[in-house]
Chain A
């Protein structure tokens, strides 16, 4: 190593913890051992660095600084915790207010129950069952006539029912002599939503299924099926519910 290189590395040498690497340090030390001038420079630089390092670190730390810092840190932590608590509280209050407002708006705008809307149909059944039937047929876009002369006075309900996932218009008639017995008239549209090929008259122990034969042109592809609770197995299951039977009474 030449003096010029040695001077370069002396400037980089640390007072402690040499970072030059083992090879460079060994070369430098060898050069210093054989070069009195550079060795003197190294001693001077080392002495100066050590003196400055000691002076840089010679800063008296104020008494009580440690306690003051810990106290300040605790106060700071408390303030941060309080700030976060306020934020969470404010957020919760905002959410509550938003939910409350939303619920208020919903409450104001949702439709209010009209008791007459409930009472009206029942009142209609009592006062003018014929009109109820006609309205039901019109609203369901069914032919204006029923497939058989059912007695409107026996009408209990005219609405619809879910049958195999399809809304099917249905009218329910009570038996004139015993309200436990009934006839449910279903109007199936032959519009392809349900396969109606399997419809046929059938009987069970307490009920009967009657498919009412209709004029295809008059009833425009609607098939009517009546389910009745059978009171007298020897009797025509529809007969008690038809006006021609002359048995209807209110």
Chain B
């Protein structure tokens, strides 16, 4: 039973946390692809930027000397999301919109987004250096332990407060996005434009407005994901750049342009990565006495070493693309 809880703490909680981050990032990537038909490579850095915005706001709030029951980084996240949404609009207006107006091909926009990646990373390094920051210098990181009332169980279920908040805010974001896309006029207009941009135009849908709303949502969710990731681990200039490829893998896995697919893809990859690096021999140990004598339980029995965690995403991506080229859900064609 203790080993099972160890499995739960390591693999299940780890998978949910990683999956939430991937899902929040992949939703933005997939919405931008659905509406603007290009791979927005700078999305990871918009996440990082969002984390730094929250960090600055948290510093200001901490300076006021008010005590909060929750991490200050989490308290300020709605305001940071607003700022990040504004910045996303600015990035589009400054870099991508002029290219679109000239009828640039998707690959040109992709290259431009790599330029934006470098610019954001450069700016962050310019102001914050290359160091690592923690949100928890001024207040402690709360750990939750849930003791289970079973006999012989000594190991508690444990997770940190940022992890709990991350999962809660992901659920809220996903539910809100669902209602926006299925109930609101603009959300339906967004789906219409992702489905058939020419017909959306013919129907008189204000496509420029839809593009703006897409950036607002993608920017705000990227900021949420970046802040929560920074709260869970720590904040550094290449925080989310390192996970932009699995985020793209999650979006492709779910079918590009398909918001629910991206969420599902994010969780599939999150779980796949944590399960692949989990040391399965832990779960075999309780059966030590029942196993045949020639079978010796190795000390580590994980599918891949944790340094190679990222490769799991790509193996799954390649397999899915071979078997089902449009992703788990049918996505938009390139």
The answer to whether A and B interact is: no
A residues bordering B, Cβ < 8 Å?
none
B residues bordering A, Cβ < 8 Å?
none
